[in-house]
Structure 1
Amino acid sequence: MEKPELEPQILANRQGVSFWLVRGNTTVECIVTIAALEARFWLEPRAGDAGILGIFRDGYSRIRVIAERKLLAHPCARLELTPDDFERP
C-alpha cells in the first residue's frame, strides 16, 4: 500500500480527513469527508480518531487515485472528495 506523502489529519470539525498530494512544486490539500469514508469504506458512525485514520490508511490507494483523477479534470488548490466521487459509472 502506498503511504500518504504527508501525514493525514482529522479536521478540527471532524467532518473529514485532510491529506496532501505533492505534484512537482505544487502541494494540493485534499479532504475526504467522513460521509465518504462511512458510505464507501465502511467506517463505523461515531468512530474514534484511530478508527477514522485506520480506515483512511486502508483505503488510501483508492482515495488517492480518485483524488488524482478529480485533480486532473479540475485543477485546484484544495480538493474535497464526497461519497459521489467514489460512485462507479
Structure 2
Amino acid sequence: MEIIELEPQILANRRGVAFPVVHRGTTVEYVITLAALEACFWLESRADDARILKRFNDGYRRIRAIAERRLLAHPATRLELTLEDFVRP
C-alpha cells in the first residue's frame, strides 16, 4: 500500500484536524474531530493550535490505523473520524 503523508492542519472552524494522505494515486482527506482528540487523546478543551497539533502527532499512529481501516471498509475521498471510531463496543 503506497502512502504519502502530508502536513495536518486545523480546520478553519476549529472542529477538527485535517490530514490528507495520498493512497493509490488518490488524495484522501481525513478529518479527526476535536471531540475525539479530547476524549481519546487527552486534548484539553480550548487548547491552542500548538497543543492540538501535538496531541494529534502524539496519537498519529493510532489515528492513522483507524483511518486506514475505515478507508478499506468504505472507500471515499473524504472521511471524518469521530469519537465512535475510537470507542470499542
Shorter-chain-normalised TM-score: which range? over 0.9
Aligned to 1:66: 66
Structure 2's unaligned 5+ residue stretches are: none
Matching residue's letter, 1:45: S
C-alpha separation in 2, matches of 1:11 and 1:27: 17
C-alpha separation in 1, matches of 2:21 and 2:67: 9
CA RMSD in angstroms, aligned pairs only: 1.1
Aligned to 1:86: 86
Report how far residue 44 of structure 1 moved. 0.2
User: Runs ≥4 in structure 1, deviation > 6 angstroms?
Assistant: none
C-alpha separation in 1, matches of 2:60 and 2:22: 15
C-alpha separation in 2, matches of 1:88 and 1:54: 24
Percent identity of paired positions between Structure 1 and Structure 2 = 69
TM-score by length of 1: 0.93
Aligned to 1:29: 29
Aligned to 2:17: 17
TM-score by length of 2: 0.93
Q: Is the deviation greater in 52-61 or in 22-31? A: 22-31
Aligned residues: 86
Structure 1's unaligned 5+ residue stretches are: none
Matching residue's letter, 1:49: D
